Amino acid sequence: MKRESFLAVVSGPSGSGKSTVIKRVMEGIGGIWLSVSATTRPPRPGEVNGLDYIFLSEEEFLEGIERCEFVEWARVFGHYYGTPKKPLLENLARGIDVLLEIDTQGARQIRKGFGARCTTVFIAPPSLEELAARLSRRGTEDEGQVLARLEAAKMEMREGAGYDYWVVNERVEEAALDIISIIRAERCRRSVRFW
């Protein structure tokens, strides 16, 4: 069926488990391309350049901003994060939907730029207690960083109320199935209504 491709924007605080959920989503549904963000933050162990992120120097990132190469960008915890414009527009133009995993600042910019062409999904942890536990367990950051992320998470949760869909990540499989269902439903909602 003919329809317009769309942007699925997924946000959620650190510790909401959004990366794991999104990995399952991409395994479970076709016809959607996962955008790879650019960042100036150093790679964590195991992260692959070009796959998990496009790792850039601060100079390279600022040049990219200058040349309008990002559809959204933000500075979070002292590092830049941005979504490269070119591959995103190319996929949309080919009729392929695009999944973006970005923070609430970025989501606001995307909503402003793409309007009704984007659908927003917020992944929430089951509770603040569980969120704190997940952030501590990760062990890649010291206690100060964990507390800073927890504060930022509380702020993000407030912004989450404005999203189109709200998925509570209690179990990864269920949360992934929620998002797959949202993508599938959106396709029915955006279908062209004549034969």
Residues that bind a copy of itself (CB under 8 A): 1, 121, 124, 126-128, 160-161, 164-168, 177-178, 180-182, 184-186, 188-189, 191, 193-195
Least distance from C-beta 112 to a copy of itself, angstroms?
A: 21
| CA count, 13 A, side-chain hemisphere, 78 | 5
Q: Which is nearer to a copy of itself, 2 or 86 (by Cβ)?
A: 2
- Closest to a copy of itself by CB, 68 vs 188, is 188
Token reading at 18:
């959004």
- In the complex, least distance from residue 1 CB atom to a copy of itself, rounded to whole angstroms: 5
Q: Round to whole Å and give the CA distance between 68 and 30.
A: 30
Q: 87 vs 162, which CB is nearer to a copy of itself?
A: 162
We find the least distance from the C-beta atom of residue 170 to a copy of itself, in angstroms, to be 9
Q: Which is nearer to a copy of itself, 47 or 173 (CB)?
A: 173
- In degrees and rounded to multiples of 5, residue 131 shows phi and psi of -60, -45
What is the distance between the alpha carbons of residues 132 and 149, in angstroms, rounded to a whole number? 9
Q: Mention every residue, 6+ apart, whose C-beta is less than 8 A from residue 112.
A: none
State the nearest-atom distance from the C-beta of 14 to a copy of itself, in Å: 17
Query: Among residues 140, 189, 157, which one has the least CA distance to residue 3?
Result: 189
